[in-house]
Amino acid sequence: MKRLILLRHAKSSWDDPVTRDYDRPLNAKGKRAAETMGEHMRGEGLEFDAVIASPAVRVAETLEWFGKGYGERIEPEWDRRAYLASDRTLLEVVQEADDAIESLMLAGHNSGIEDLLLFLVPDKKGDKLRAAAEEKYPTGTLAEMTFEVEHWADIAAASGKLARFVRPRDLAEDLGPDPV
């Protein structure tokens, strides 16, 4: 069995005067959300063998703050293909993972992260977790899927089971959407 954990980068700062989207950092709320998500994963005993991540600044900072909460430094394999990638490109990245890895975390961006989850998890009536993911996959959100396969290359459409879908606001009310 393979386990895939999808982590969307935490809330980034639109106030920072960067010249490229790639260089946009997290804002204070995003840092808190990433650290809180790491604490939650540690508390749940959710482990991973490897991390593949977009090298964008906001993803790198998400993993840095996530690691603080998780209690260990996250050392990802940076993959430029994951930067603003489509679900199909992200699927290729996952399918190329070493089969010695049983649990893989993929950290990146929407809409690719959300679309990948919706592509891999069948739409079954009454699946509240999938329905929540389909409604919105907010920044800082973590999803865990399992697959009854031995090889990452065998992961295909509708072959996964969504085991958890956790948004920062599920862990702390002040990490929810900003008031309008």
Beta bridge partners of 107: 7, 53
Query: Which pLDDT tens digit goes with each residue over 16-62?
Result: 677 789 999 999 999 999 999 999 999 999 999 999 999 999 999 99
Q: What is the token pair recorded at 153?
A: 């290359």
What are the distances in angstroms from CA 60 to CA 7, 51, 113? 12, 11, 16
Helix (H, G, I), strand (E, B) or coil at 91: helix
Q: Is the peptide bond before 13 cis (omega within 30 degrees of 0)?
A: no
Length of the chain equals 180
pLDDT in tens, 124-179: 999 999 999 999 999 999 999 999 999 999 999 999 999 999 999 999 999 988 77
Task: Determine the number of helices (DSSP H) and then strands (DSSP E) in the chain.
Answer: 6, 6
Domains and CATH numbers, the chain: 2-174 (3.40.50.1240)
Task: Return the pLDDT at 15.
Answer: 76
pTM of the model: 0.96
162, 117 contact by CB (below 8 A): yes
Distances in Å between the alpha carbon of 19 and those of 9, 16, 22, 144, 163? 19, 9, 9, 34, 39
What's the Rg (C-alpha) of the chain?
15
> Number of C-alpha atoms within 13 angstroms, CB side, residue 123?
8
Structure tokens at 160: 């996964």
The neighbouring-strand residues paired with 144 are: 5, 164
114 pLDDT more than 70: yes
Per-residue confidence (pLDDT) for residue 16, from 0 to 100? 66
